[in-house]
Chains A and B, each alone.
Chain A
Amino acid sequence: GESVGLHLPTLSVQEGDNSIINCAYSNSASDYFIWYKQESGKGPQFIIDIRSNMDKRQGQRVTVLLNKTVKHLSLQIAATQPGDSAVYFCAERQRQLTFGSGTQLTVLP
C-alpha cells in the first residue's frame, strides 16, 4: 500500500544551526502535505502545510519544500533552538491524513 516514510529516524543539530528533516511519500495522488511537531507528552502540533500545486512555502523560521518529481518533502528549521527538540511528522492527504514514522530532532547546546 501507499505510505509516507522518513529518511532518518533521529537528527541531532547544534543550537543555532539550521535543521533539515526529510520525508518521502509514494502516492502521487496526494494533494496536500502537513508537517507536525510533537513534544514529549503532548499531541502533534501543526507547523506548516503545503499544497501540491506549490513547491515551497515559508513560515516563521520554517520552510517546507515539495519536490513532486521525486516525491520528496522537507522541513527546514532556521537557527534551531532548544525548544525545537521534538518528534517531527510529515503527513500526506488523499482521502485522509496518513502520517510518516517521525524523526526525533535533538538540539545540542
Chain B
Amino acid sequence: DTAVSQTPKYLVTQMGNDKSIKCEQNLGHDTMYWYKQDSKKFLKIMFSYNNKELIINETVPNRFSPKSPDKAHLNLHINSLELGDSAVYFCASSQDSRGSEAFFGQGTRLTVV
C-alpha cells in the first residue's frame, strides 16, 4: 500500500503543452502539498491544501493550478509549459497544516523539451 502516490513518474512534453500530475494519499491526512525540486536538489513548497482549501500559495506562476476534488487528492495542472518548468515535482501530505512529519510521494520528473 503506497501512502502517497503520484502519477505519472516521468513526463516528457513539448513547450507550450498543458499537462497534469495526479496525487492521492491514503493516510487520512487533512493537508496535502506540492513541492518542486530543482536540479540542485533544492526543495521548495508551491502549494498547500487543507481539507480541500488552499492555505499556501507561494510565488508560483499562475500557469500552475492545483485542484483538490477531495482531501485525499491534490492534482497539479500546468498550462503553457516552459523549459524552466523542468524539475521533479513531489506531492506530500501531513496530518496538520504546518507540515509536521510530512509524507512524500515518489516524485514526477517533468522534462520540457
Give A contacts to B, CB under 8 Å. 32, 34, 36, 38, 41-46, 49, 87, 89, 91, 93, 95-99, 101-102
Asked if A96 contacts B98 (CB within 8 A), the reply is yes
Asked if A46 contacts B56 (CB within 8 A), the reply is no
Asked if A101 contacts B100 (CB within 8 A), the reply is no
- Check if B101 is an interface residue, CB within 8 A of chain A: yes
Q: Given that A32-B100, A96-B98, A97-B99 are contacting pairs, would A42 and B106 also be in contact in the complex, using a CB cutoff of 8 Å?
A: yes
Compute the total of residue contacts between A and B using a CB distance below 8 Å. Answer: 54
State which of B42, B45, B105 has its C-beta within 8 Å of the C-beta of A43. B105
State which of A34, A96, A99, A102 has its C-beta within 8 Å of the C-beta of B101. A34
Chain B residue at smallest Cβ distance from A92? B99
| Residues of chain A contacted by B42 (CB below 8 angstroms) | 99, 101-102
State which of A38, A89, A91, A101 has its C-beta within 8 Å of the C-beta of B99. A91
Asked if A43 contacts B104 (CB within 8 A), the reply is yes
Number of interface residues of B (CB under 8 A): 21
Chain A residue at smallest Cβ distance from B40? A101
> Measured between C-beta atoms, what is the minimum distance from B107 to chain A in Å?
5
Asked if A43 contacts B90 (CB within 8 A), the reply is yes
| Residues of chain B contacted by A98 (CB below 8 angstroms) | 45
Asked if B98 contacts A99 (CB within 8 A), the reply is no
Asked if B90 contacts A96 (CB within 8 A), the reply is no
Chain B residue at smallest Cβ distance from A38? B41
| Residues of chain B contacted by A32 (CB below 8 angstroms) | 98, 100
Q: What CA separation (Å) do A47 and B107 show in the bound complex?
A: 18
- Check if B87 is an interface residue, CB within 8 A of chain A: no
* A–B pairs, 18, beta carbons within 8 Å: A32-B100, A34-B102, A38-B41, A42-B106, A43-B106, A43-B107, A45-B104, A49-B100, A87-B41, A95-B56, A96-B48, A96-B98, A97-B45, A97-B98, A99-B44, A101-B41, A102-B41, A102-B42
- Check if B12 is an interface residue, CB within 8 A of chain A: no
- Check if B103 is an interface residue, CB within 8 A of chain A: yes
Complex interface bits, B84-108 against A, C-beta within 8 A gives 1, otherwise 0: 0000001010000011111111110
